[in-house]
Structure 1
Amino acid sequence: MVVVFVLGLCVSALMERRAEVASIFNNRKNVIKGIEARNERYNDDFPREYQTWTETAKTDFESEFNGNIAVDVLEKRPEMVVLWAGYAFSKDYSTPRGHMHAIEDITASLRTGAPMNPTEGPQPSTCWTCKSPDVPRMMEALGVDSFYHNKWAAFGDEIVNPIGCSDCHDSETMNLHISRPALIEAFQRQGKDITKATPQEMRSLVCAQCHVEYYFKGDGKYLTFPWDKGFTVEDMEAYYDEAGFYDYIHKLSRTPILKAQHPDYEIAQMGIHGQRGVSCADCHMPYKSEGGVKFSDHHIQSPLAMIDRTCQACHRESEETLRNNVYERQRKANEIRNRLEQELAKAHIEAKYAWDAGATEDQMKDVLALIRQAQWRWDFGVASHGGSFHAPQEIQRILSHGLDRAMQARLAVSKVLVKNGFYRRSSNA
């Protein structure tokens, strides 16, 4: 009888929740048709979700290694300036802030230059793709190809709303949907139909529109996910190698470098939580209750800021134990990361010495291949800020392989230096 009673309560609660949701949708104050990029238009009908979304503007949380405060990473780890020499990231790279700051931060970034008109500047309009719900609106108006094939400055007066409601929700039905074509196209190339994704899968796939590795393909700068061969660092490297792709030529070593973006989704799928079906939203947008109403907290942030509603929804350890569990994984990964950054920076500088000493392209071929491989693994491992928690074993494997290749590159370039008569003068000479 007790079991029947409990089941009855559950069914009753579910029916009440469905009735509440139906009531909201049947009595919406703002009937929206088509793409609506203005986030404030959703406030009247979804005040709790909207209010918590505005809290992504906060910069008051700090953990041992990150938070929601912009910190100059180049100042803290100057080796990265060497690693990205000749590329825009060597000018400006800070820890990320919340979604409300998306437009503000990309506009202020030194990476986008200082264009004086719509046809100037170093970056393509593709750089806007994940910054605003205005992007799907512009894609619909211009066509996807035309949107990508412009300068970043061309759309500065059109893209004004920060990442928000219609990026993840259909404006009319509020169902989760995919608003960016690159993810749909990546699934299609793998023979998958993304429209068949389950509701739980969609709670991660809406994030996978942007929190992934991608590149700008061809002269049209068409945003593309390199998933055709798989999700691993080796799979994507093989894809890029086959295409002969590189993001830039390194200013010192002359290596054709691959710049990883932020392969958060891919790495999360390799970890125990992803493998067990835990979605991004389960941990970064946990449910909360207010006035008897249960809803998803749209203050998207680190789960460490709300352990009682994230980790402890499943795990029974104390907040301190759970927090330290995350920190310990990050500390171990950072031990390898720090060593890798030091050795890789030295490899770039030593390669510059080799070129200056008269090394030939044939002599440097193996050196550059090793540097490219080492840097790709380093960047892939560190660009995903939560990777050391999402898939700690995979991140340590990737970074360890990167360190191995950086050391191999230094050994290889030392042989080239000797062949070209270069030697290090002792301090007593």
Structure 2
Amino acid sequence: MKNMSAKFTLSVLLVLILGLGITACNNGGNGTTLPTTSAPPAEASAMAIIPDAPEITPAGDPVREQCTGCHAQNVEMIDSSNHAVHDCAQCHIPGEHPQNPLLNESVVNQSNELCGGCHPDQYRSFHTINLESEAREEKATPVGVSPMFDKLMQPYGFTKEHNEPRSHAFMLLDHITVDRAYGGRFQLENWQDILASGNIWDILTDLGQQYTLPESAKAANPVCLTCKTTDNILEWAYMGDSHMFADFDRTSDVVEFIQAVDNPTMGCIMCHDPHTTSHRVVRDGLIDAVTRGDNEIYADVNGESLADIDVVTFRNFRKIGLMEEPIANIICAQCHVEYVCNPGYDMATGEYITMEDPRTNHFPWVNVFDAYEHYNELGFRDFKHAVTGATLVKLQHPDAETNYGSLHQQNGVECSDCHMPKLTNQAGDIYTSHWQTSPRTYIDETCLSCHTDWTEEEAEYRIDSIQNYIKGKLSKAEYWLSELIDTFDLAIRYGVDEATLDEARECHSQAHILWEWWTAGNGGGFHNPDQARESLTRSVEFSKMGIQILEEAMK
């Protein structure tokens, strides 16, 4: 078995909560909160793997004076930031680039280990592995979140394998190895490497271009990967358009794209600008959604946008969005959002939409009740259902849009308050945890920091009550969608006319969005339970409406 990291060693923290006796011992028997440490607190998880902090990366010979001539914009940004103490050579390896910039590229160190040398608490928490978040746990199982998923989504690629998420440290590894992405071409060299980290190509084996695993799909594309890696960020033009300065675009060979990637997860630079040290967004689809002005879902009571970003353009082909103050509800929306990242079908012509079409990199930036109409206006659908023939949308993970307008968001709560709380390290310094895990993991620092009159057990009970209720509504929505599909099968064999089938297909399309929004999202409806309840019950209504249309036609 390979070492668990090619770039850093892991120290394993196995904290086993074996019973009330140990709990009472650790808490002094009186419920006293344990002090937090430089990693997620010991009581936070039954089992976790926490990496060692990396060494500080030494800088090369100073080169800032040479950089200023061509990169004045970047130098000006860094000179006014907390990183002004660092020379460009701290992150850039110029080589022969200053002598002939057109022929020699400067190498940029984009590893999280570089940042972790100075920010060890953030590094260690981000790369912490929660062993209670299981690997390759399918959603479409009898005990999964969506038991009927495969039937409701056939023949879409997600039916080949669609898993619950696990730690961010595995976001790229799990993408490359999932059966729906590359046809099973890339596999772990050893099943024991499921916990391995480091250079992604030290962990995986390539079975070759000709290999295809039975019951798999080759559905990956470069747009999808912009959420999972920042290694190619300097080689990607705004919106993935083709550009002379960009090595990759929306239509690029996705295997070549991932073979140019080394780091196992997204970099710190996804959310932190290395020049200004400001928080930022780099996902072009989000920048487009926030600035295009056709809809603003994240707004105050007066309709004014809360997504305050300053868009900066580099060399007329790349854009980033800088923030004066961190807005976690926007930063997290780079990935935890509904977006189009794949080919589809044109609703007007019925023709296949390829990755050349800009609609294949698009953030709707709407809530669940406006999604159907938005996709109608966009003229886009992801796939046609195998039985009904209805054109359907494949939802991604619309956590940000779901949170907007919720009770928590209206009271000023941001994603980071629940998923990235402030902790205290062993030296007594306060830092922001970057573990980005469930608030249940450190409930004292999350839920109980506001709900001070609750106990941990009461907080968990309230969370469970919401998620149990929404899970029930989700099951009912799936049942009635399944009934609608079965009724379609009967109606088609019965010879029901196309006009009637099309009318029922519209019901299917709407019922589908109102259902899948909640299987695609995280949180089990907790982010906005009122919206989840209304959406799922509306889904049931549309399914029943479609069934009624078809049954009337068969009388």
Deviations 1:252-283 (A, max 9, x none): 11110111111100111121111122111111
Aligned pair count?
386
Tell me the SS of whatever aligns to 1:153: helix
Q: Which residue is 1:258 aligned to?
A: 393
- Mapped pair 1:210 → 2:335: yes
Q: Which residue is 1:153 aligned to?
A: 255
Residue 117 (structure 1) shift:
4.1
- Mapped pair 1:168 → 2:271: yes
2:111 to 15, 18, 38: 38
Q: Which amino acid aligns with 2:255?
A: A
Distance change (3 Å), C-alpha of 1:143 and 1:380: closer
Q: Which amino acid aligns with 2:328?
A: R
Query: For 1:88-127, what aligned pairs fall within 5 Å after superposition?
Result: 88-114=157-183, 116-117=208-209, 121-127=218-224
Using the size of structure 2 for normalisation, the TM-score is 0.65
Q: Which residue is 1:18 aligned to?
A: none
Q: Which residue is 2:76 aligned to?
A: none
Distance change (3 Å), C-alpha of 1:414 and 1:160: farther
Q: Which residue is 1:223 aligned to?
A: 361
Using the size of structure 1 for normalisation, the TM-score is 0.83
Residue 69 (structure 1) shift:
4.8
Give the Cα separation in 1 of the matches to 2:541 and 2:240: 45
Deviations 1:34-87 (A, max 9, x none): 9643111112111111111110x3322xxxxxx565421112343111001110
Q: Which residue is 2:291 aligned to?
A: 188
Assess if the C-alpha contact under 8 Å between 2:518 and 2:532 holds in 1.
yes
Query: For 1:118-137, what aligned pairs fall within 5 Å after superposition?
Result: 121-137=218-234
Distance change (3 Å), C-alpha of 1:187 and 1:205: same
Assess if the C-alpha contact under 8 Å between 2:481 and 2:511 holds in 1.
yes
Assess if the C-alpha contact under 8 Å between 1:132 and 1:160 holds in 2.
no
Q: Which residue is 2:130 aligned to?
A: 58
Deviations 1:153-207 (A, max 9, x none): 2312112321231111112343211111111111111176622986555222111
Deviations 1:2-33 (A, max 9, x none): xxxxxxxxxxxxxxxxxxxx998566698235
- Mapped pair 1:72 → 2:138: yes
Residue 143 (structure 1) shift:
5.8
- Mapped pair 1:340 → 2:340: no
Q: Which residue is 1:295 aligned to?
A: 431
Tell me the SS of whatever aligns to 2:180: helix
1:312 to 440, 448, 453: 448
Give the Cα separation in 2 of the matches to 1:395 and 1:139: 36
> Normalized per residue, which structure has more strand?
2
Q: Which amino acid aligns with 2:450?
A: C
Can you give the 5+ residue segments of structure 1 that lack an aligned partner in the other structure?
Answer: 1-21, 61-66, 419-429
Can you give the 5+ residue segments of structure 2 that lack an aligned partner in the other structure?
Answer: 1-79, 93-106, 186-207, 213-217, 243-247, 295-304, 312-321, 344-352
Tell me the SS of whatever aligns to 1:242: helix
Give the Cα separation in 2 of the matches to 1:412 and 1:101: 46
Deviations 1:127-173 (A, max 9, x none): 21200121423315996445212243231211232123111111234
Query: For 1:324-339, what aligned pairs fall within 5 Å after superposition?
Result: 324-339=461-476
Question: Which sits farther off after the overlay, 347-356 or 292-301?
Answer: 347-356
Distance change (3 Å), C-alpha of 1:160 and 1:252: farther
User: CA RMSD of the aligned region, Å?
Assistant: 2.7
> Normalized per residue, which structure has more helix?
1
Residue 245 (structure 1) shift:
1.5
Question: Which sits farther off after the overlay, 91-100 or 236-245?
Answer: 236-245
Tell me the SS of whatever aligns to 1:206: helix
Query: For 1:396-407, what aligned pairs fall within 5 Å after superposition?
Result: 396-407=533-544
Question: Which sits farther off after the overlay, 304-313 or 238-247?
Answer: 238-247
Assess if the C-alpha contact under 8 Å between 2:238 and 2:284 holds in 1.
no
Q: Which amino acid aligns with 1:208?
A: A
Assess if the C-alpha contact under 8 Å between 2:279 and 2:326 holds in 1.
no
Deviations 1:303-325 (A, max 9, x none): 01110111111111101111111
Q: Which amino acid aligns with 2:363?
A: F
Q: Which residue is 1:242 aligned to?
A: 377
Assess if the C-alpha contact under 8 Å between 2:420 and 2:435 holds in 1.
yes
1:270 to 405, 429, 443: 405
Give the Cα separation in 2 of the matches to 1:363 and 1:223: 33
Assess if the C-alpha contact under 8 Å between 1:103 and 1:160 holds in 2.
no
Give the Cα separation in 1 of the matches to 2:451 and 2:152: 39
Give the Cα separation in 1 of the matches to 2:542 and 2:240: 43
- Mapped pair 1:395 → 2:395: no
Q: Which amino acid aligns with 2:150?
A: V
Give the Cα separation in 1 of the matches to 2:416 and 2:325: 9
Q: Which amino acid aligns with 1:124?
A: N
- Of all paired residues, the percent bearing the same amino acid is 26
Residue 385 (structure 1) shift:
1.6
Distance change (3 Å), C-alpha of 1:260 and 1:142: closer
Q: Which amino acid aligns with 1:72?
A: E
Distance change (3 Å), C-alpha of 1:35 and 1:180: farther
Q: Which residue is 2:235 aligned to?
A: 138
Assess if the C-alpha contact under 8 Å between 2:83 and 2:275 holds in 1.
no
Give the Cα separation in 2 of the matches to 1:201 and 1:407: 45
Assess if the C-alpha contact under 8 Å between 1:126 and 1:223 holds in 2.
yes
Deviations 1:367-414 (A, max 9, x none): 101011001100112321226211110111111101111111122222
Tell me the SS of whatever aligns to 2:176: helix
